[in-house]
A and B are shown apart, each in its own frame.
Chain A
Amino acid sequence: MKRSFKDDFNMMAMLLIPIAVAVNLVGFQLANVLRLPIFLDTIGTIIVGVIAGPWVALLTGLITNLINGIFNPVYFPYALTSIAIGVGAGYLSKYGFFKSVPKTIISGIIITFIAVIVSAPITVFVFGGVTGNTSSLITAAFLASGQELWSAVFSSSFITEVADKVVSVLIVYFIVKAMSDRYLSKMNYGDLYMKRNNRK
């Protein structure tokens, strides 16, 4: 199955984007309200990657950060991270990485690496290594113990990201499982997850 950039876009996929962006924001807010130690702010982007493919997820990530940036411009440079997460989730889905729980956990770890590799340079070059969140404290601790800036930023962001991303992909896995065939049949990658096909 060969897909081009254009194939990934249709109206149903486009209408998924606003919902996914809202899910990113609401997920983050819920995690806050429930005082969870993880962000859960990329669930929407990952869902889009899984059922609608990398390009639609790219837009979802971009729009999420642009909208967050309206009230906090620190989000703008990290749009690249969101984009990378979306594209990564899309490709992982294409190659069947969301079809079982163990594979899904592996995708969570791969997505963590993607997120860390893309966000670390932003943190270092734009913000000099910290942005004032939890991972900044860990970075500071690593630096104080004598680590290099880059390795401090990489390791601290890996530590804060990995739990978040693994939990997020698992939530996505179960949500996609709960989606109706009727809906999935209209999404580009939906046929990968339809119960009807798997039954045969």
Chain B
Amino acid sequence: MKQNILLQLHPMTKFYFTLFIFAVVLISPGYIFSFAIFPILILIAMLAGVAKEFLNIVIKALVTVLIFIFIMQMFFYPGENVLWEWGIFEIKQEGIKYGLLLTSRILAIGSAFILFFRMTEVRDFVKSLEDIGLPPMGAYVVLSTLQIIPEMRRQANTIMEAQKTRGVETEGSIFVRAKAFIPTLTPLILSSIAGTEERAITLESRAFSAPVKKTSLHQLSKSNMDRALPIVFALVVIGLIVWRFFL
């Protein structure tokens, strides 16, 4: 997986690509262009060897939303040209057009972000942000969040099991179930914050706030591609703007 040229690109290059798609979608008129972007993203995902995860997440996260949005616009977008009518429901041509525009844009931009995170380790992305000026504290907070989430999930499950064996109901009427929420969440929060004092001492003991510039074992390198691609993206965006608004 590490040999893949696309995956090996610098995180910032991939991020610029995501922003590039974002810009292209907003600049280009109509929906055809935006819909055309999705197959391109699938192609990239395939080349990067992440197509399966990519499509899975697109389906889970975006498909219902898109269907919903499309139906809504179809029925409720203001317009004159009624194509079909049934009681109070009317489908209007303007609605379909706006629905397609909206869904094409959300699909393209949303899946560009999904693809970005399939192709980039968050750790690498944070490192690249640190390289361009994110304070170490910010980087620490994000990375530590990523480590704490699964830990807390596990603890929540443990506590919940313990509650069950102690007779706290997690089934039954809504009030019964609601009552299980607090005894699960409260100890989780209290025990987690109780550890922060010692975590702070640990960090200080590891010279976290030493008044020097930090070094890092984790180095990201930029290839020629990484230098060239952002320029290409910028030129294309400028070209599009000129074509769209000045010609």
Contacts and interface: CB of A to CB of B under 8 A. Distances in A.
Among A16, A34, A37, A40, the most chain B Cβ lie within 10 Å of the Cβ of A34
Give the dominant DSSP class at B's interface: helix
B65 A74 contact: yes
Contact of A178 (B68, B184, B186, B192): B186
A171 interface: yes
Contacts of A47: 189
B189 A34 contact: no
B140 A19 contact: no
Interface string A159-192: 0000000000001001100111011001000000
A35 B181 CA distance: 11
Interface of A: 9, 11-12, 14-19, 21-23, 25-27, 29-31, 33-37, 40, 43, 47, 59, 63, 67, 69-74, 76, 126-132, 136, 139-140, 143-144, 149, 171, 174-175, 178-180, 182-183, 186
A127 B69 contact: yes
Contacts, number: 171
Interface of B: 57, 60-62, 64-65, 67-69, 72-73, 75-77, 88-89, 98-99, 102, 106, 109-111, 113-114, 117, 122, 137, 140-142, 144-149, 151-153, 156, 160, 170, 174, 177-178, 180-182, 184-186, 188-190, 192-194, 196-197, 199-200, 203-204, 208-209
Given A73-B61, A74-B65, A140-B72, A23 B113 contact: no
Contacts of A23: 152, 185, 188-189, 192
A19 B141 contact: no
The 7 closest A-B pairs by CB, nearest first: A18-B145, A132-B68, A72-B61, A22-B152, A73-B113, A73-B110, A132-B65
A130 B99 CA distance: 12
Contact of A40 (B148, B151, B156, B181): B181
Contact of A12 (B98, B117, B174, B197): B197
A62 B76 CA distance: 32
A128 B110 contact: no
Contacts of B144: 15, 18
Contact of A179 (B147, B160, B180, B190): B190
A12 B186 contact: no
A22 B177 contact: no
Contacts of B147: 18
A12 B174 CA distance: 37
A43 B186 CA distance: 11
B61 A71 contact: yes
A34 B170 contact: yes
Contacts of B65: 74, 127, 131-132
Nearest to B114: A73
A131 B192 CA distance: 34
B185 A22 contact: no
A41 to B, nearest CB: 12
26 contacts: A9-B137, A11-B209, A14-B141, A18-B145, A22-B145, A26-B185, A30-B156, A34-B178, A34-B181, A43-B185, A63-B145, A67-B146, A73-B62, A73-B111, A127-B102, A128-B72, A128-B73, A128-B77, A129-B72, A131-B69, A132-B64, A132-B65, A139-B72, A183-B193, A183-B194, A183-B196
